[in-house]
Amino acid sequence: MAPPKFGDLNKQVSDIFNKGYFFNVFKLDVKTRTANGVNFNVIGEHNTETARTFGSLETKYVVPEYGLTFLEKWNTDNLLKCEITADNQLAQGFKVVFDASLVPNTGKSYERLHFGMKTRPLSLDITSQSYSAKLQIRVRTQVNKLRLTGSYTHAGNNRHWKKTAELRTAYTHDKAHVETNVAFDAAGPILNGAVVLGHQGWLAGYQYVFNTARSMLTKNNFAVGFRAKDFTLYANMNDANEVGGSVYQRINDRLETGVQLAWTAGSNQTRFALASKYQLDGQTVVGAKVNNICQVGLSFQQLLRPGVKLTLSALFEAKNLNAGGHKVGLGLELDS
Domains and CATH numbers, the chain: 6-109+160-335 (2.40.160.10), 110-129+139-152 (no CATH)
Backbone angles phi, psi at 270, to 5 degrees: -95, 130
The 10s digit of each residue's pLDDT in 140-155 is 998 888 889 999 998 8
Please check the confidence at residue 117 and state whether its pLDDT lies above 80.
yes
Please check the confidence at residue 162 and state whether its pLDDT lies above 80.
no
Residues facing 263 on adjacent strands: 243, 270
Residues facing 292 on adjacent strands: none
Q: Which of 15, 13, 10 is nearest to 258 (CA)?
A: 13
Q: Please state, in angstroms and rounded to a whole number, the distance separating the CA atoms of residues 323 and 302.
A: 30
The 10s digit of each residue's pLDDT in 181-224 is 999 977 889 999 999 999 999 999 999 999 998 889 999 999 99
Report whether 327 contacts 24 (CB < 8 A).
yes
Around Cβ 323, how many Cβ atoms within 10 Å? 8
Residues in the chain: 336
Contacts of 18 (CB under 8 A, 6+ apart): none
Residues facing 96 on adjacent strands: 86, 115
Report the pLDDT value the prediction gives residue 159, as an integer from 0 to 100: 60
The 10s digit of each residue's pLDDT in 224-280 is 999 998 999 999 999 989 999 999 999 999 999 999 999 998 887 889 999 999 999
Residue by residue, DSSP assigns 108-131 as EEEEEEEEEEE-SSEEEEEEEETT
Contacts of 51 (CB under 8 A, 6+ apart): none
Mean pLDDT, range 120-133, rounded to an integer:
83
Amino acid identity for residue 105 in this structure: N
Residue by residue, DSSP assigns 164-202 as EEEEEEEEEETTEEEEEEEEE-TT--EEEEEEEEEETTE
Mean pLDDT, range 33-54, rounded to an integer:
94
Please compute Rg for the chain using Cα positions: 24
Around Cβ 167, how many Cβ atoms within 10 Å? 16
Report the pLDDT value the prediction gives residue 104, as an integer from 0 to 100: 85
Mean pLDDT of the chain, nearest integer: 91
Please check the confidence at residue 77 and state whether its pLDDT lies above 60.
yes
Quote the distance between the C-alpha of residue 42 and its chain's center: 21
Q: State if pTM tops 0.95.
A: no
Around Cβ 314, how many Cβ atoms within 10 Å? 16
Q: Please state, in angstroms and rounded to a whole number, the distance separating the CA atoms of residues 291 and 241.
A: 21
Contacts of 113 (CB under 8 A, 6+ apart): 96, 97, 98, 127, 128
